[in-house]
Each structure stands twice: as structure tokens, then as C-alpha cells.
């Protein structure tokens, strides 16, 4: 029999699950989208008062994928369609007790992010202007941003931040937000048109500018979106 103490066992490694969630928010100042993420303010020690990634402990009866979805829902009310394992963080000194964190990452569209219930102690931050984070969460966020930047180049994950139909300018703004730099509109248009990954629709976005054609992703094109495992793991859980 194991006798439980009130605090964490000093000679046990515990498993936690956390999620880095990215979305886009249009900056009212320049009307351009920025990459934003939700953080949860810690209400107890360690690091009480600091901001941390949404997450929680792994339950004995749930898979890692299930724990990621559950803890994300409990802390932020979000249920993203793209939720992928990012990395396991297990440095000895990353927490006062020994904790291995399996970190997931997720993308949510701006309208989903807005719909998400405004949970207590949750706030969205521009990734270019983050507050001081608890534990090694700053290192985790930096790694997730690196993964986002590398992956957006060879997959259609930008789609996770857009509606089903979008203009080329809207797609370009997603890339600009992720890469933190402006892209030449004509070059961008040529590249995506040559890639074969977009299908033009007969619909147009109208508004204050001249009408812009709406596009959607060509799902026939094989892209390195997700490994074979994400599918098999999630079908099991």
C-alpha cells in the first residue's frame, strides 16, 4: 500500500499535461493580426500570481491526448480541432517537485477564441509581448513558436487559424504574423498559386476595399500535416 501525503511525493515523478494554444487577434492600432495565446494566472504556489500554460495532472484512467483535451477545456473552455503532441519536458529542476510535462499545441480560429467563455484567471497575450511565466513555460512557448514557424512552411496548418474560405491577403497576413515580417503581396500570390494547394471559389469578400476572391484549401494535395500516429492515438482514446 502507498500512503499518500498531502503534498507531492518527494520520491515520485508526476506526469502533467499542458497545451500551448495559438490564435490570431487583429491589432486595432494597425489592423494587422498578431499571434496570441491564452495563459492562466496561478492561484497557488509555486509561482502564485504568475501566468502559466493551461494544463493539469494526467489521470490514471485517461490517455495523454484525452488529458490534453480535458485540461484545456477545464481551464479555458476551448476545444480546438488541431491538437498535436509537441514535446515532453523533463528537466530535473523545472519544478520544486519532479514533474514531467507532456506538452501539446493547438491552433484555434479567431472566432473560436472569441466564442470561448471568458474563464476566470485566463487572459490572451500577444506572443511578442508575454508576461513573466511560471516554471520553464517560457522555454516551452519559444519552442512551440519555433515549431509553428517551421511547420507553416511545409504544411497547411495556417488553415487552423483561418475560416474555411479566405482571401489571399488574409492568408498572407497569417504568414506575416507567424514570421513577424511583411511579405511581398505579388510574390506571395505567385507562390501560393503555383503551389497547387489553394482552390479559387466564385465568391468574393466585399467591403471597404475592392472585392477580393475567396479561396479554400485543396484537400487532395498531400501535405505533411500530421503524422500517422496522431490519427491512431486519437482513434484509440
Q: Which residues form the interface with a copy of itself (CB under 8 A)?
A: 1-3, 5, 9-15, 58, 60-64, 85, 87-92, 98, 100, 102, 139, 142-143, 146-147, 150, 154, 224, 227-229, 232-233, 236-237
Whether residue 37 contacts residue 22, with contact meaning beta carbons closer than 8 Å, is answered with yes
- Name the 3-class secondary structure at 85: strand
How many CA atoms, within 13 angstroms, populate the side-chain half-sphere of residue 217? 17
Cα 215 to Cα 29, 81, 162, 167: the distances in Å are 27, 20, 11, 6
Angle between helices 228-236 and 64-76 (to 10 degrees): 80
Comparing CB distances to a copy of itself, the nearer of 181 and 210 is 181
Least CB distance to a copy of itself at residue 130 (A): 17
Comparing CB distances to a copy of itself, the nearer of 100 and 192 is 100
Q: How far apart are CA 146 and CA 125, in angstroms?
A: 17
Comparing CB distances to a copy of itself, the nearer of 207 and 228 is 228
Cell numbers standing for residue 215 = 479561396
Least CB distance to a copy of itself at residue 43 (A): 25
Least CB distance to a copy of itself at residue 196 (A): 18
Least CB distance to a copy of itself at residue 234 (A): 11
Q: How far apart are CA 18 and CA 50, in angstroms?
A: 16
Comparing CB distances to a copy of itself, the nearer of 75 and 85 is 85
Least CB distance to a copy of itself at residue 11 (A): 6
Amino acid at each position: 500500500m502507498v500512503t499518500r501525503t498531502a503534498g507531492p511525493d518527494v520520491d515520485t515523478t508526476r506526469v502533467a499535461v499542458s497545451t500551448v494554444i495559438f490564435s490570431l487577434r487583429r491589432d486595432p492600432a494597425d489592423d494587422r493580426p498578431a499571434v496570441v495565446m491564452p495563459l492562466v494566472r496561478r492561484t497557488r504556489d509555486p509561482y502564485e500570481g504568475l501566468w502559466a500554460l493551461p494544463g493539469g495532472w494526467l489521470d490514471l484512467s485517461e490517455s495523454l491526448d484525452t488529458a490534453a483535451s480535458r485540461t484545456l477545456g477545464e481551464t479555458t473552455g476551448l476545444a480546438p480541432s488541431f491538437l498535436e503532441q509537441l514535446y515532453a519536458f523533463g528537466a530535473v529542476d523545472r519544478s520544486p517537485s519532479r514533474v514531467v510535462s507532456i506538452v501539446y499545441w493547438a491552433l484555434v480560429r479567431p472566432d473560436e477564441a472569441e466564442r470561448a467563455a471568458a474563464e476566470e484567471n485566463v487572459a490572451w497575450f500577444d506572443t511578442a509581448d508575454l508576461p513573466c511565466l511560471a516554471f520553464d513555460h517560457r522555454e516551452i512557448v519559444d519552442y512551440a513558436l519555433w515549431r509553428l514557424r517551421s511547420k507553416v512552411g511545409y504544411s497547411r496548418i495556417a488553415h487552423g487559424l483561418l475560416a474555411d474560405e479566405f482571401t489571399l491577403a488574409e492568408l498572407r497576413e497569417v504568414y506575416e504574423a507567424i514570421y513577424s515580417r511583411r511579405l511581398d503581396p505579388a510574390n506571395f500570390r505567385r507562390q501560393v498559386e503555383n503551389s497547387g494547394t489553394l482552390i479559387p471559389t466564385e465568391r468574393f469578400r466585399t467591403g471597404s476595399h475592392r472585392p477580393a476572391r475567396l479561396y479554400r484549401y485543396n484537400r487532395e494535395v498531400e501535405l505533411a500535416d500530421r503524422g500517422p500516429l496522431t490519427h491512431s492515438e486519437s482513434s484509440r482514446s
